[in-house]
A and B are shown apart, each in its own frame.
Chain A
């Protein structure tokens, strides 16, 4: 049995969404950096109460979407038109072994572009959606198989009706006494020192 333990941080429970919101404001004003609130549903305005910046996800998704548009444009023009040859990049068509197939008497130059809009649109959405999914997972730091907080008995209530604040020990301002008294002052209950087994 391993007996080595590392302090993960302090976990405190709060009664309601409003209590959690006000507690978050107090922890923010005390100058902590490494802390988070855990709750069963999103609470609007919590980012401000915690002093967090906005998510950068939209910027990632924009890049993902543009990539989708370009992929669809390239795929279709390369396989259906002479566009790449006409701008002096014919080697791309040789490389990919594609040649325009004439169907429905549609032109093989760039002016057949409107027929490509639906697929360009769909791939923009598809690439954006997958960028949203994987970007989100990256920003959340998930999936992960375990977390020190799951060692706490009371923490499981976060997904039911529990509201928690956890201040981590790696925060430069963390101290066993002051952090605990801050959480008490903010109205925290069942304050627990969560320890991670090494």
Chain B
């Protein structure tokens, strides 16, 4: 994209020139163009691609349902877990999906608090993805408990013997963290949808659709009384979700870190898991948003700048993850703990599952390094390739941490190489179908981009826009970056 240069001080030509920021919406689109383009996705017939994806997704969801039915009717033995590998694909899949669910809240909360306006084009889809990913994640521990009809034992109510849950256990912390995360993400997503549901309502002809959109839009009138409180609420939810999103994967990592298993009992786990979750989540956001943008013609809203920014976040978090992998190894050596050192030697050098370790390292640490080079961040094929690597690599990371650690437990007498069964594999495949089906239904019935928020970041939405004219420094830019936008001569004077 071209960066247009304009003069900071039109009177004095020859003074240092400044770079204008890249616009967030290309081709100076109007409000009604944005409304029509985004609502059009919901109102028009879906393209053939949608059906090509939707039909297999529904079939895979059926496969998932079949696998779970088979599991319930036969017993958890149909999964490949045997002592000492009691946690394997199911917990790997749980951590994988919950990690993917982290990008949505990161985009909606942390990028909101840091005033990253580019988030508006991707936050809606990322939040939807978060909710669907957490739904997929929740299935695995629920079935892992063995007798799924007893899963209500996890809820903080006493069972028939008046025995309460053990609140000192990280597994119960996890129940609270994940269910809080799901509830808060849902509230955040729904509140964000309300103004856009009103837009859909106002465009519908009277009928069932209008009734339903109208009911969920709650009677929104875009009044200042609404927006004023709404913005405060949005800010509060962002401020609440920021520590929440960091806590959820920290708590997930406590499931491992608070145990005494070599390879799990490390203090680096919470930041390492959080960075990995953001990393994997952004890869999944790009995996979904690049095709959506191409199929539905949203290139003016999801611009190369958006993809570039997300690629940079993937590069950063991927490098943090690489640091964590290396630091784990170093600490295993430096601790002089024979068990810890042996765990890592078996994991990365001569154990039965070193292939998983190499996949993990290559996909997560080396592949994102391509993003140092700007043309790669702007080539959608390269971006998609790296994101696919990361999606796979993050699954291998959890597999390495969980299954390969347990394969070689403290006593060599109990060592066993883990093998997944077909039920493990098809259940996991099925959750991809479930996830895709929910996402495609979301595309079909709800606005994929936050219409109101994108309109709010257009230059003409600033009420002081016309006071300053279209050229020159905007007041807002001066407040944000004084030294970057004011020429040195002017700053000195």
Contacts and interface: CB of A to CB of B under 8 A. Distances in A.
A49 B199 CA distance: 25
A185 B363 CA distance: 64
B222 A18 contact: no
A33 B254 CA distance: 55
A58 B169 CA distance: 33
A80 interface: yes
Interface in A117-156: 118-119, 121-123, 125-126, 128-130, 132-133, 135-137, 139-147, 149, 156
Nearest to B166: A103
Contact of A38 (B221, B231, B244, B451): B221
B199 A121 contact: no
A46 to B, nearest CB: 6
A105 to B, nearest CB: 10
B330 interface: no
A145 to B, nearest CB: 7
B224 A36 contact: yes
Contacts of B165: 79
A122 to B, nearest CB: 4
A16 B462 CA distance: 10
A136 to B, nearest CB: 4
Interface stretch (A1-9, A158-166, A175-183, A188-196): A158-166
A160 B229 contact: no
A149 to B, nearest CB: 6
Interface string B93-109: 00000000000000000
B229 A139 contact: yes
Nearest to A142: B218
Contacts of A125: 180, 184, 240-241, 243-244, 247
Interface string B315-355: 00000000000000000000000000000000000000000
A24 B463 CA distance: 11
A198 interface: no
A20 interface: yes
Nearest to B31: A161
Interface in B437-488: 451-453, 455-456, 460-467
A116 B176 CA distance: 11
Given A79-B164, A161-B30, A142 B219 contact: yes
A104 B172 CA distance: 14
Given A142-B220, A160-B32, A21 B162 contact: no
B452 A40 contact: yes
A16 B202 contact: no
Given A139-B229, A160-B32, A161-B35, A40 B167 contact: no
Q: Which of A42, A52, A119 has the most CB of B within 10 A?
A: A42
A25 to B, nearest CB: 10
A137 to B, nearest CB: 7
B146 interface: no
Nearest to B201: A159
Q: Which of A61, A101, A112, A118 has the most CB of B within 10 A?
A: A118
Contact of A160 (B170, B199, B233): B199
A40 B180 CA distance: 31
A115 interface: yes
A126 B188 CA distance: 12
Contact of A36 (B164, B215, B225, B461): B225
Interface size range on A against B: 35 or more
A113 to B, nearest CB: 10
Contact of B456 (A20, A42, A76, A97): A42
A12 interface: no
A191 to B, nearest CB: 18
Contact of A136 (B30, B177, B199, B229): B229
A17 B222 CA distance: 13
B294 interface: no
A17 B236 contact: no
B227 interface: yes
Interface in B186-238: 187-188, 191, 195, 198-199, 201-203, 215, 218-233, 236-237
Given A41-B455, A103-B168, A20 B240 contact: no
A42 B241 CA distance: 21
Nearest to B196: A159
A196 B425 CA distance: 61
Contacts of B156: 75
A16 B470 CA distance: 15
B187 A118 contact: no
Contact of B219 (A49, A75, A133, A147): A147
Interface string B29-49: 011100100000000000000
A30 interface: no
A44 B226 CA distance: 14
A92 interface: no
Given A101-B166, A125-B180, A139-B229, A132 B224 contact: no
Contact of B198 (A36, A136, A137, A159): A159
A119 B179 CA distance: 11
B218 A143 contact: yes
A103 B163 CA distance: 12
B102 to A, nearest CB: 15
Contacts of B15: none
B173 interface: yes
A97 B157 CA distance: 12
Contacts of B224: 24, 36-38, 46-47, 50, 52
Contacts of B237: 129, 132
| 7 interchain residue pairs of minimum CB distance | A161-B31, A21-B463, A143-B218, A41-B456, A79-B164, A115-B168, A118-B173
21 contacts: A17-B462, A36-B224, A41-B452, A42-B456, A46-B228, A47-B224, A52-B228, A101-B163, A104-B166, A122-B244, A126-B180, A129-B183, A130-B187, A132-B233, A136-B191, A140-B226, A140-B230, A142-B226, A159-B220, A160-B199, A160-B202
Given A41-B456, A80-B166, A125-B247, 7 more contacts: A40-B222, A40-B455, A46-B227, A98-B162, A104-B169, A129-B237, A149-B221
